[in-house]
Copies of this chain bind each other. A is one copy, B any other.
Amino acid sequence: MAYRKTPAEVRRLEAAREHLIACATSVVAEVGWSQASVTAVADAAGIAAGSVYQHFPSKAALAVEVFRRAAGREVEVLGEVLAAPGDPVDRLGRGIRVFARRALENRGLAHALLAAPAEPAVGAERLDFRRRYRALFAAVVREGIAEGALPEQDGEITAAALTGAVGEVLVDPLGSPGGPTTEALLDELTALALRCAGAP
């Protein structure tokens, strides 16, 4: 064996991979999955198209990685807010607010995660993502019911509705033009979500 990867070399490769993922994420957030060709992504990362295949076996694999990273961050943040100690209804409101604020702050990415047309592999990932969101919301709703703060209801359905409602409000051009300010939109959305769950 005349070649063993030196730690520096390993780090360099790792960094290149991360850089590629980061650039791909930007491209996707800007132009959507369908326009994010291998060439476009490679160009953005400053490498040749062929080099993408040093890091990922296929375009789909890269896309899935991009999705997982971004979605994972979101789920994690939401999970922390919802799992904090305190009144379930308060936490639900704060969770909605965080979910919505983050989406509004990075609309492109939010759109990519929630709605933008994508290849099947990413679509499957997205289902999982929504399911995880749903599970988080459902848990808090159930807690609220147990405490008597929320009326009897199917937590799963309410959770799905919350995800859908926030997604719909955000994805469509409601928040951009002459519409309400971000803060007003967040207030309205939070109030709506609490009504939706049946909070007084």
Q: A-side interface residues toward B, CB under 8 Å?
A: 34, 117-118, 120, 123, 127, 130-131, 151, 153-154, 156-158, 160-169, 172, 174, 180, 185, 188-189, 191-192, 195-198
A157 and B117 contact, CB distance less than 8 A: no
List of 7 A-B pairs having minimum Cβ-Cβ separation, nearest first: A164-B168, A161-B165, A164-B164, A196-B196, A117-B117, A164-B165, A165-B165
The count of identical subunits is 2
Complex: chain B residue closest to A161, CB-CB = B165
Residues of chain B contacted by A151 (CB below 8 angstroms): 195
Residues of chain B contacted by A117 (CB below 8 angstroms): 117-118, 123
B160 and A174 contact, CB distance less than 8 A: yes
Residues of chain B contacted by A34 (CB below 8 angstroms): 120
Residues of chain B contacted by A160 (CB below 8 angstroms): 165, 168-169, 172, 174
Complex Cα gap A165–B165 (Å): 5
Looking at the assembled complex, report how far the CB atom of A59 sits from the nearest CB atom of chain B, in whole angstroms: 16
B168 and A185 contact, CB distance less than 8 A: no
A192 and B118 contact, CB distance less than 8 A: no
Complex Cα gap A124–B151 (Å): 39
B161 and A168 contact, CB distance less than 8 A: yes
Residues of chain B contacted by A163 (CB below 8 angstroms): 168
